[in-house]
Amino acid sequence: MPLSLLFASCLLIAALAFLMGRGKAFKSAGGDIRKLHSLPGYYGWNSALMVLLPSMAALVIWLAVQPLVINSSVSQMISTQSVEASSLDLIMSDVRRVAEGLNKAVEAGAMTEAEVSGATAESMNVRERLGAVGVALGSDVSNETLQAAQSYRDLSATSGLLRTIAVLALALGGLVFGVVRTNKDFRARNTVERVILGLLIAAASIAILTTVGIVFSLIFNTVEFFKLYPAADFFFGLTWSPSFGGGSDLGILPLIWATLYISLIALAVSVPVGLFAAIYLSEYAAPLVRSVAKPLLEVLAGIPTIVYGLFALLTVGPLLVDIFGSNGVLHLGWMQGGTAVMTAGLVMGIMLIPFVSSLSDDIINAVPQAMRDGSLGLGATHSETVKQVILPAALPGIVGAILLAASRAIGETMIVVLGAGAAARLSMNPFDAMTTVTAKIVSQLTGDADFASPEALVAFALGMTLFVMTLGLNVIALYIVRKYREQYE
């Protein structure tokens, strides 16, 4: 039974269970709602949940486990010689493809079921036959692959049948259990509420699950990478020159350098502008100015990063070349092309202005009014109050905001992919093109790289480095911000 039909029939049984459960509760109370423990709907929901919970859980587990089991049992059929000749992954994907093709051929009526199960590579040109139904195969099918594909098909069909039986059995079992349990004294509301609470907890745990998923997917592939490439060379190597033919140098230092350099320029732009804007808007500006300027600045935060990337590539880069390039206004010749550390840093700085200003704004507003009044009352001017009272009081929070902005800058991808260049380089000149950790993650993982090569796996090690760096900054920043907030609350 196809998945959608199975799902629909479970829903149907659940609806039936709802009606039966509610009906039975009514009947046991003799139609008098006052004799029921819970509202009638709860009896219905109880029965419906008894149907849905076990059957859906079984379905999900089955869907996750079935491919693993089938894969492992089929891959045992493949001889070690052919595994040595190419890789097990490639052979298995061939097998899956052939199996799918056979399914399609049977569906289209190009082959009969008997033909498929009796086929051998000698008796039939499988590639040609499958090509006729629109499944293109890269090479001729060996006997081994064909047999594996046949058993793959058989196993899938059997397991599909078993799945249907198991899920429907659980659903009907749940129906019977739920309805039999129902009578007027049954505490239906408490049961239903317990189940709902369980679902709420499960939803809250997804956040944890995401983190676990991130950590696992990074760690497994990073370990895999370090098996192929020495960790010391990765962390302390000064050259980055991957080549998919092998023999690449994958030193992270040039990437880290460019990442930090760009982030530094971005902070040099965004922190003064953002901070002064926040001070002005919260301390000086008239309410009207504030109500106009603040949302306008925050528009900058709502603009997607791809827009900033394009702005860097097509507007800011050429503009900087016109000023600092060899034919530029200043005749300096510092800049060769539009993509450079300066381009990316400048645009990233623009992106971070609202981030810094709105965080600092919150923090400055959290400083108690009494401190301002006290300072002004002693005869300090407004700017002296800001510089000598408010900023020192808000300093930890502002440091936290700057750290958060730094973590944003380090993790930013689109601006550096489009604006910073593609060549890794260790240079002091901010007008040189360099490349960052995030840009290289993108370039190593896009395209049809195979996941077994160190050139693709290095992206996971880069991701791990990035994750650790930003997580460290975030944890420190959030700790500082939270600690500071408590101080005045």
Q: How far is the CB of 181 from other proteins (least distance, A)?
A: 20
CB nearer other proteins, residue 180 or residue 468:
468
Q: Binders of other proteins among 307-326, rule CB under 8 A?
A: 307-311, 313-315
CB nearer other proteins, residue 116 or residue 414:
414
- DSSP letter at 455? H
Q: Binders of other proteins among 447-486, rule CB under 8 A?
A: 447, 451, 459-460, 463, 466-467, 470-471, 474-475, 478
What amino acid occupies position 219? I
How many residues at the interface with other proteins, by CB under 8 A? 91
Q: How far is the CB of 48 from other proteins (least distance, A)?
A: 17
Q: Binders of other proteins among 386-405, rule CB under 8 A?
A: 386-387, 404
Contact between 402 and 415 (Cβ < 8 Å): no
**Neighbouring C-beta atoms of residue 205, cutoff 10 Å:** 11
Q: Which two tokens stand for residue 341?
A: 């550390």
CB nearer other proteins, residue 114 or residue 203:
203
Q: How far is the CB of 280 from other proteins (least distance, A)?
A: 3
Q: Binders of other proteins among 327-366, rule CB under 8 A?
A: 350, 353-354, 357
Sign of CA dihedral 171, 176, 180, 184: positive
Q: How far is the CB of 385 from other proteins (least distance, A)?
A: 10
- DSSP letter at 39? -
Which range, of 73-81, 109-117, 237-245, 436-444, touches other proteins by CB under 8 A? 436-444
98 binds other proteins (CB under 8 A): no
Q: Which of 120, 241, 381, 487 binds other proteins (CB under 8 A)?
A: 381
Q: Cα angle at 76 between 73 and 78, to 5 degrees?
A: 130
Q: Which of 58, 90, 376, 445 binds other proteins (CB under 8 A)?
A: 445
Q: Phi-psi bin for 331: left (phi > 0), alpha (psi -120 to 50), beta? A: left
Name the nearest CA neighbour of 402 among 346, 350, 351, 359: 359
Site string for other proteins, 177-216 (x = CB under 8 A): ------------x---x--xx-xxxxxxxxxx-xx-xx--
Which range, of 53-61, 155-163, 249-257, 406-414, touches other proteins by CB under 8 A? 406-414
384 binds other proteins (CB under 8 A): yes
**Rg of the chain over all Cα atoms, to the nearest angstrom:** 32
Which range, of 121-129, 163-171, 279-287, 324-332, touches other proteins by CB under 8 A? 279-287
Taken as a whole, the chain contains a residue count of: 489
Q: Binders of other proteins among 223-262, rule CB under 8 A?
A: none
Q: Cα angle at 452 between 446 and 453, to 5 degrees?
A: 70
Name the nearest CA neighbour of 438 among 302, 262, 317: 262
Measured between alpha carbons, how far is 149 from 353 in angstroms, rounded to an integer? 58
Q: Binders of other proteins among 6-65, rule CB under 8 A?
A: 64
What amino acid occupies position 27? K
Q: Which of 343, 408, 420, 435 binds other proteins (CB under 8 A)?
A: 408
CB nearer other proteins, residue 239 or residue 413:
413
286 binds other proteins (CB under 8 A): no
Q: How far is the CB of 433 from other proteins (least distance, A)?
A: 16
Q: How far is the CB of 479 from other proteins (least distance, A)?
A: 10
121 binds other proteins (CB under 8 A): no
Q: What are the two backbone dihedrals, phi and then psi, of residue 122, each rounded to the nearest 5 degrees?
A: -75, -40
Which range, of 126-134, 218-226, 236-244, 370-378, touches other proteins by CB under 8 A? 218-226
CB nearer other proteins, residue 131 or residue 272:
272
- DSSP letter at 335? B
CA separation, residue 343 to residues 77, 164, 263, 348, 418 (Å): 56, 58, 12, 9, 10
What amino acid occupies position 388? Q
418 binds other proteins (CB under 8 A): yes
Largest interatomic CA distance in the chain: 102
Burial class (CB in 10 A: 0-12, 13-18, 19+), 361: buried
